[in-house]
Amino acid sequence: MVQTVASIPLAVNESLTIQKRRIQNGKNNTRLSLVTGTHGDELEGQYLAYMVGSFIDANIDLLDGIIDIYPALNPMGIDSITRGIPMFDLDMNRVFPGTKGGTMVEVICSSIVDDLSGSDMCVDVHSSNIFLKEIPQVRISVPTAKTLVPYAKMLNVDFVWIHDAATVLESTLAHTLNSRGTKTLVVEMGVGMHITKEYCTQLFDGVLNLMKELGMWKGETSPVREPIISEGHMVGFVNSDAAGIFVPYASFGDTVKQGDHIGDVVDPLTSKVVEKVLAVCDGMIFTLREYPVVYGGSLLARILQPERGKEQ
């Protein structure tokens, strides 16, 4: 059943409407909300939403609970290939929890939060941006780690990144919901403006497994992988110092040693290498730049160091 979460008339003969689809079966009222499309250039979740919805439709007897699928929190952004909210140039994930008496965007965010609150679990799927490619991972802030890490492990991701909570992240959907008692996991995977079928399939298996663990899925599930948890690890950031074109020599997921040559920044005009990019530490490359044009400061890679005491 398709339901309207928020609808606001736009200037000329159209409304901005946020929709969800509720799939319900059995007597169990456990509710999982699958949310995506906050950033208009992140599309991995679109295919995941389709996969989950179509599979459950075809196997509805195995569902014992409620799954709400919100494919597009920012439908105008997806429709116009705009990361933020068109017209406002705002990052929607910096406007939560919103307010009923505020601007249009704040009103919408407030309605979304009201609708999602009370879910037993919420999975908020992002896919990096057009600049970086990420391995499937769950990101959790330190204060919520104790509660959320056990659920994150169920999602069949490769990595769970527990990071310090910056105050600016208090404006995110996940922070808002978690602070209101609705457990919310943020997934990052793939790259902007693409669909990586392999990752969507991986997370699809994770969502079914999570549903099984929540007692709302009676069907078979595939075994899930044990993710690396960032506790005890350090993350090394490789930023460009020069401007030019980044050409990687290492591949996504490679294990590298500190000082390894992982890429070059080159100048197409002078045909010179303007920066030899080296690994800042030992470890696995879990983020790699996808978009070649770089400025000083552009993020090129993130490297997950081996657990302390387990360095090779």
Partner 1 sequence: MKKKILFSLKSPYREQLDIIGFRFGSGRKSLAIVGAMRGNEVQQMYVCSRMVQALKKLECEGRLADDTEILVVPCVNYYSMNIGKRFWAMDNTDINRMFPGYDLGETTQRIADGIFSKLQGYEYGIQLASFYQSGIFLPHVKMMDTGFTDPDIMRDFGLEFGIVRKPRPYDTTTLNYNWQVWETKAFSVYANATDEIDVKAADEAVNAILRFMCNRGIAASKTPPGYITEIIDEDMTKQIQSEAAGLFFRATEIGSTVEHGDVLGRIYDPLDGELVAEIRTPVSGTVYFAYNSPLINAKTVCFKVIM
Applying CB under 8 A, which residues contact partner 1?
8-13, 16, 83-84, 88-90, 94, 101-104, 107-108, 129, 131, 167-171, 237, 239, 242-245, 267, 293-299
Q: How far is the CB of 166 from partner 1 (least distance, A)?
A: 8
Give the three-state DSSP class for 257. coil
Phi, psi of 205 (to 5 degrees): -60, -40
Q: How far is the CB of 295 from partner 1 (least distance, A)?
A: 4
Count CA within 13 A, CB hemisphere, residue 171. Answer: 11
Q: Which CB, 32 or 301, lies closer to partner 1?
A: 301
Distance between CA atoms of 191 and 132, rounded to whole angstroms? 6
Q: What burial class does residue 6 get, using C-beta atoms within 10 Å of its C-beta: 0-12 exposed, 13-18 middle, 19+ buried?
A: buried
Q: Which CB, 68 or 290, lies closer to partner 1?
A: 290
Q: Which CB, 270 or 312, lies closer to partner 1?
A: 270
Which among 300, 298, 284 has a CA at the least distance from the CA of 233?
A: 284
DSSP 83-121: SSBTTTTB-GGGSTT--TTS-HHHHHHHHHHHHHTT-SE
Q: Which CB, 297 or 309, lies closer to partner 1?
A: 297
Q: How far is the CB of 103 from partner 1 (least distance, A)?
A: 5
Neighbours of 223 (CB within 10 A): 8
Q: How far is the CB of 135 from partner 1 (least distance, A)?
A: 20
Q: Which CB, 89 or 198, lies closer to partner 1?
A: 89
Q: How far is the CB of 178 from partner 1 (least distance, A)?
A: 14
CB 202 within 8 A of CB 138: no
Phi, psi of 3 (to 5 degrees): -125, 155
Q: How far is the CB of 24 from partner 1 (least distance, A)?
A: 30
Q: Which CB, 11 or 58, lies closer to partner 1?
A: 11
